[in-house]
A and B are shown apart, each in its own frame.
Chain A
Amino acid sequence: MTLPIHDWQFWVATGIFLFAAAWLLRGVVPIPFLSRRARRRKRGERRATLTVGGKPVDR
């Protein structure tokens, strides 16, 4: 039972795996460059959730 640590392709694949895992966990763990909120801010989107005194309207 081994990991092929001498194979450079293994390290590339592992890097891709780690990126994919980080992508999937970005909603749970705050990862600055992957966070949804950061990307939304970048695109300048605005949400239309209505608030009263800064708090969501109780419906």
Chain B
Amino acid sequence: MGGAATGSQTRPPSAGSSAPAHIGTDPRADDHDPALPPRIALLGNPNTGKTTLFNRLCGLRHKTSNFPGTTLEARLGRLRLDGQPVAGGPRSDCCGQDDAAPVTAHEPGARRDSVAGADLELIDLPGIYSLELDSGDSDICRRVLLGEAAPRGDRAAPPDGLCVVLDAASLGRNLMMAGEALRRRLPTVIAVNMIDLARRQGLSIDGPKLAELLGCRVVLISARTGEGLTTLRAALADLRIPTRTAPGGVGEAGAAAVRRWADEIYAQVGDLSDPAGGAPWDALTDRLDRVFTHPVGGILSFAIIMAALFYTLFVLAKYPMGWIEWIFNQLGSLITTVMPDGVLQDLLANGVVAGISGTVVFLPQICLLFFLISLLEDTGYLARAAFVMDRALRPFGLPGHSFVPLLSSHACALPGIMATRAIPDPRERLATILVAPFMTCSARLPVYVLVTTILFGDRPGMAALAFVGCYALGILAGVLSALLARRTILRGKSRPMCLELPTYKLPSVRTALITTWDRGWVFVKKAGTNIMMICIVLWWLGSYPHVQPPQQAVQLREQAQQLREHRAVIEAPNGSVEPVSQDLAASIDAEAQRLEAANAKSHSFMGRAGKAVEPVFRPLGYDWRLTIGVLTSFAAREVFVSTMAVVLAGEDTTDVAEAGVFHQIKSATRDDGVTPVFSAATCWSLLVFFVLAMQCLPTLAVTAKESGHVKWALLQLGWMSAVAYGAAALVYRLAS
């Protein structure tokens, strides 16, 4: 197990932050709005399980992981105390002041009597190593405790109480945070979390002794299993100002005094009573870390783990994908059967159903990916990957701190860009913001899946390899762009990263399922709202205005009609049908239908717009249909597949309801009726374009906000678009 280090600078001394803020008084007694429930702040080191506890207490499910710095913003949640044993309830693990005494409003230091039986509001703060550090997260926590910061719309006031969350397995270091909290003189309870893990490691903690030394209530809990939470609820409803405080002072001297105080307390309460209990666990951790943090072995194992993850994804996801496609095919058939022919039937079958199925069919891939990554994250492995990648990132001018934002960007660039707030150096932060959208986000996955499946059909191994290649290309483009930026417009040295390596844990399937459900639901909601609306708009623009059928199609129809009449003549004498003529007539009709549909789409509002822009994308191998797909994907990347489903619907003579959307897309041909829309060269070009292009308006908005100027967003858009265009054109030329 790794130790902890912050590597951050000590905050310059300031009177407001180091001096006790509100000694011996209830800080919100005068300015508390009685309409608001009392507010309690959750404070603690990173990765101590604050958000897991917050979710448990408030019945919420914000993102948690076995990775420091998962919480980026303060969050509010309501803790309902109705029906909970506020006083005199079970307190098996609660240690500290007057445990059995009922709460009264007039006790010195006791909370208002209105607290009992009412709701509490919890504020989940980002994890910090100290309130005195010069970092954005420490500043946020400091301001919240001083009553300078409040959720938007609220009057700023200090919280009514503090719940300091400590990691039982790293209690010695975590006690320093407790010391800083005690000096704030706010009503406080200490929650020693992950007590189950500490026990497994052979560590026992003397709760009553700890409560005596800290002068406040101490509850031993496990937020994951729910152990001790009833007691904690009761303690939260009965908060008191601690009877003791911790030594302090400004700068290094103050930090050293708190460290000594924490060490002394830990020596009295922490006991490795069963050294054998922790030995196998530690030995396993050391053995794993020897591989996962090795300069070569670490990178190799990272590549193998990611390749295995994607292979599993392709192998397992194809079954539910088939089921979903079947369901949508049945739905399409039902619509064409039940509804009479006409505009509305076409809108529903070829606009709504085809469009939505084009996106929803990839739901299993998205869910499976997030499930597997969540399991991996929960084991504690990703922190090791960050450690290994730090060495790889530094030569490119990016700090190790960039790993977490870049990793987050693989889910979505928005939280990734916001996570750059943890990077202390403004130039390094800006460089990370600029390159974060190069990382493969989940919105790109449907496009990757579509194109790699067209390219590699039933070879999941090759498809997985292409998938990993897309991820690798995005990372490579990102770090090379960062290197360029750091050598030109953002010059400066990189800082080394200090990261706490969390303990390895067995992954929580519940957490993984919650994450999967949340991500899947967001995806389905998007498909059911925005993507459906885009499909409807595209359908209308692709259906109107009506045009006369082309001359060639008219002639073909006449030919087919003549053949049928000829068949009728042949049928008369001997009662048989000439099979060749029948088949020929049908195929000529089908060709006429294809020409009519292609002509109608080509002259529609959408076709005209696509043709106007087509010359721009011709060097990349895209016809007007793909041009429409690429243009709409600037609103959201995943819209591409749905757009293609709508744009290409009806052009193939096979029915969407019979063949499925994927077949329609794969077998669609260009205006000449021979060249596939998705040729091999075009597929490679598309893959490269989608890996590198900046096609996300919300990301641009966040970049402008976080960087402080719109010029950086425009630079990001211009650079990424230019790189994507150039690389895709090159790949198309090489592949064709």
State the B residues within 8 Å of A (CB). 73-76, 123, 136, 139-140, 143-144, 148-153, 156, 342-344, 347, 421, 529-530, 532-534, 536-537, 539-540, 543-547, 603, 635
Contact = CB atoms under 8 A, between A and B. Distances in A.
28 contacts: A1-B547, A1-B603, A2-B545, A2-B546, A4-B343, A4-B546, A9-B342, A13-B343, A13-B344, A13-B540, A14-B540, A21-B537, A24-B534, A24-B537, A24-B635, A46-B76, A46-B151, A48-B73, A48-B151, A50-B143, A50-B151, A51-B149, A51-B150, A51-B152, A53-B156, A57-B139, A59-B139, A59-B421
B599 to A, nearest CB: 12
Contact of A59 (B136, B537, B540, B635): B136
**Which of A12, A17, A52: most chain B CB closer than 10 A?**
A17
Contacts of A48: 73-76, 123, 151-152
Contact of A23 (B136, B533, B544, B545): B533
Nearest to A17: B540
A1 B140 contact: no
Contacts of A52: 143, 148-149, 156
Which 5 pairs from chain A and chain B are nearest by CB?
Answer: A59-B136, A17-B540, A9-B343, A20-B533, A20-B536
Contacts of A59: 136, 139-140, 421
A20 B537 contact: yes
B143 A57 contact: yes
Interface string A18-59: 001101100000000000000000000011111111001101
A16 B536 contact: yes
Given A9-B344, A51-B151, A59-B421, A23 B140 contact: no
A3 B75 CA distance: 52
Q: Most chain-A CB neighbours within 10 Å: which of B143, B534, B540?
A: B540
A57 B140 contact: yes
Contacts of A23: 529-530, 533
B546 A3 contact: yes
Contacts, number: 91
A3 B343 CA distance: 12
A3 B605 CA distance: 11
A24 B76 CA distance: 30
A57 to B, nearest CB: 6
Contacts of B635: 24
Given A1-B547, A3-B546, A47 B152 contact: yes
A32 to B, nearest CB: 18
Nearest to A55: B152
Contact of A50 (B150, B529, B532, B540): B150
A16 B123 CA distance: 43
Contacts of A17: 536-537, 539-540
Contacts of B123: 48
A38 B150 CA distance: 22
A54 B343 CA distance: 52
B70 to A, nearest CB: 15
Contacts of A4: 343, 546
Contact of A7 (B74, B343, B347, B547): B343
A50 B149 contact: yes
Contacts of A16: 347, 536, 540
Contacts of B344: 9, 12-13
A6 B143 CA distance: 66
Given A20-B533, A24-B530, 13 more contacts: A1-B546, A2-B545, A7-B343, A9-B343, A16-B347, A47-B152, A48-B75, A49-B152, A50-B73, A50-B74, A50-B152, A52-B143, A57-B143
A1 B143 contact: no
Residue from A9, A20, A46 with most neighbouring chain B CB atoms (10 Å): A20
A51 B143 CA distance: 10
Contacts of B537: 17, 20-21, 24
Nearest to B153: A46
A20 B546 CA distance: 21
B132 to A, nearest CB: 17
